[in-house]
Amino acid sequence: MVDGDIVLRPIKVRDQKAWREVNRRNRDWLRPWEATIPPPTPSGPVTHRPTFRQMVRHLRSEAHAGRMLPFVIEYQGRLVGQLTVAGITWGSMCSGHIGYWVDEEVAGRGVVPTAVAMVVDHCFRTVGLHRIEVCIRPENGPSRRVVEKLGFREEGLRPRYLHIDGAWRDHLVYALTAEEVPDGLLARWRRARSRGRSGHELPGRERHHPGIPHEPGN
């Protein structure tokens, strides 16, 4: 998927060097919003953070099973982040949820909302999903503004929903269904940006939103 300088493509093992470099450089930027592994329970499995290769193998396995769509985000030819549609459920639900992270250097350039819009259109038009969720910590105001600018509905709070930065954290739920974007989310986002540039509507900048959680290891 391509829109101007922004590309979404499947993650590959050969992305390891670029992925690690961006992730390392953004450690402090990403840490407060990253999914972590809770302490093991007496009867539960012992879980460890996977290596990059293990992560990619897991993502590809889940993709082949129809449960996940793992992408990297490229901007002007270089890897700047990751976006995953996870928890894909079929049958009577046909839904999934989006998680992402992005390089601080490209924040404020429309990269994340464009990537989210592209993947939502792909999920609705090509994959056949009906509903997409994005769950965001209430403290992550700039990330909330990204989904609000795209027209996601806020549906409520899930208390202690995900283990983030070492503790169980509350998350706000935002969602879209296919009926709400009959002409496509990317087209709607382009119109909003165009109005903003002309001074009729200011969509704002999504600076300081490193991301919303992937699974541990992402």
> Position 12: which residue type?
K
Q: pTM of the full predicted structure? A: 0.86
Phi-psi region of 36 (alpha: psi -120 to 50; beta: other; left: phi over 0): beta
Q: Is the pLDDT of residue 146 over 50?
A: yes
Q: What is the DSSP string of 176-193?
A: EEGGG-TT-HHHHHHHHH
The rounded radius of gyration (Å) of the Cα atoms in the chain is 17
Position 218 in a domain: no
Q: Is the pLDDT of residue 217 over 60?
A: no
Position 122 in a domain: yes
Rounded Cα gap, residues 180 and 188, in angstroms: 11
Residue 141: which CATH number?
A: 3.40.630.30
Position 217 in a domain: no
Position 51 in a domain: yes
Q: Give the pLDDT score at 44.
A: 66
Q: Is the pLDDT of residue 8 over 60?
A: yes
Q: Is the pLDDT of residue 213 over 70?
A: no
Average pLDDT over residues 21-45: 83
Name the DSSP letter for residue 200. S
200 within 8 A of 188, measured Cβ to Cβ: no
Domain that holds residue 67: 2-212
pLDDT band at residue 208, thresholds of 50, 70 and 90? very low
- Residues 65-103 have pLDDT tens digits of 999 999 999 999 999 999 999 999 999 999 999 999 999
Total domains in the fold of the chain: 1
